Each structure stands twice: as C-alpha cells, then as structure tokens.
C-alpha cells in the first residue's frame, strides 16, 4: 500500500512535469508586436524571439498550430548565411531571411518533418522570421519589404532585458 502511494505521487509529479514541459514548448504568451512594411501597406504580427542557443535549436518543434498572425524571430550574433530544417516541426512554415537593416532578402517554404536544409542565398542574414505557410503571400510581403526597425529594436530590448 505504501509503495502504491509513493508511485502515485511520483506519477503525479511526472505528469505535472510533462504538462509543464509541453506548455513551455508551445507557449506563445510572451510575444512582441512587430510590423513589416511593403509598399504602402503594413502587416502587423507578433513573434516570440529566440534569445538563447536552446531556443534557437528548438524553434517551433512540436508546435501543433500557430496563431494566424504569430511567428518566431531568430536573431543571429552577426550577419551570416543561415540554414534551417524542419525536424520535429509539425506545421508548414515560410521563412524570411532578413538583413541588418530589416530588409527581407528571401522568402522560402518549409515543409513539416523535412530534414532538407533551407538555406539563405545571402551571407548578410541577421534575422530569420518563421510564419505559417502562406502568411507572407497572403499579406503581400515579398523580397524588399522591410521590418519596422523601431518596433524591432523595442522588442529586442524588452526580450533581452527579460532574459536577464
């Protein structure tokens, strides 16, 4: 009887830890408002900002759905060529490779579970923005469109101060 109680408490703790880990992996409560300017139009969205190597590595793995105007912004230490894959990623995504001035250099489609790397053609990539598949096209965003850099700076400042 005593061992059963110990196992029950252990199982409950394990279940709670599992649920917390799942919630953390899919947590989109800490998002930052951003905009992309394309010609005369503006597309508003919010994004999680990956601010650590583990967040960069995990990305959107395991996420079963992404709110329509939400995504994930990856920030590199310095401009470089970028490469992403979709291992353990369950939903179709599009990725924008963005230079230090906020200009979109390239938009590529990414397919669930694909181990084929999606690479930037430029070595000037500082930011990468993953959104639901088709989001950029739906919002008439193409190469040359630009992140609102003032909003981006505010979001980065808040995210980095929250990380401390």
* Average pLDDT score over the chain: 84
Query: What is the per-residue pLDDT for 51?
Result: 77
For residues 85 and 110, membership in a common domain is answered with: yes
Q: Are 15 and 45 part of one and the same domain?
A: no
Q: How many domains does the chain have?
A: 2
**CA 125/CA 44 separation, integer angstroms:** 22
Closest to 69 in 3D by CA, of 12, 4, 139: 139
Q: Tokens 């930037």 identify what position?
A: 120
67 and 106 in one domain? yes
Q: Tell me, yes or no, whether 59 and 100 share the same domain.
A: yes
> Contact at 8 Å (CB) between 104 and 146?
yes
Percent of the chain with pLDDT over 90: 73
- Which residue is associated with the tokens 């200009």? 103
Average pLDDT over residues 9-38: 56
Q: Do 4 and 72 lie in a common domain? A: no
Between 4 and 94, where is the model more confident? 94
Confidence band (pLDDT; 50, 70, 90) for 73? Answer: very high
Chain centre to alpha carbon of residue 33 = 13
């Amino acid at each position: 009887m005593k061992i059963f109680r110990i196992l029950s408490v252990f199982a409950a703790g394990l279940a709670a830890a599992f649920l917390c880990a799942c919630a953390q992996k899919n947590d989109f409560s800490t998002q930052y408002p951003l905009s992309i300017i394309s010609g005369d139009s503006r597309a508003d969205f919010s994004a999680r900002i990956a601010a650590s190597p583990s967040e960069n590595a995990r990305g959107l793995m395991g996420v079963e759905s992404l709110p329509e105007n939400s995504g994930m912004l990856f920030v590199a230490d310095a401009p470089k060529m970028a490469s992403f894959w979709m291992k353990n990623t369950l939903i179709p995504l599009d990725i924008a490779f963005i230079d230090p001035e906020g200009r979109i250099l390239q938009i590529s489609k990414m397919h669930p579970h694909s181990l084929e790397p999606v690479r930037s053609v430029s070595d000037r990539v500082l930011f990468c923005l993953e959104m639901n598949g088709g989001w950029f096209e739906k919002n008439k965003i193409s190469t040359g469109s630009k992140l609102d850099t003032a909003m981006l700076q505010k979001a980065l400042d808040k995210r980095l101060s929250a990380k401390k």
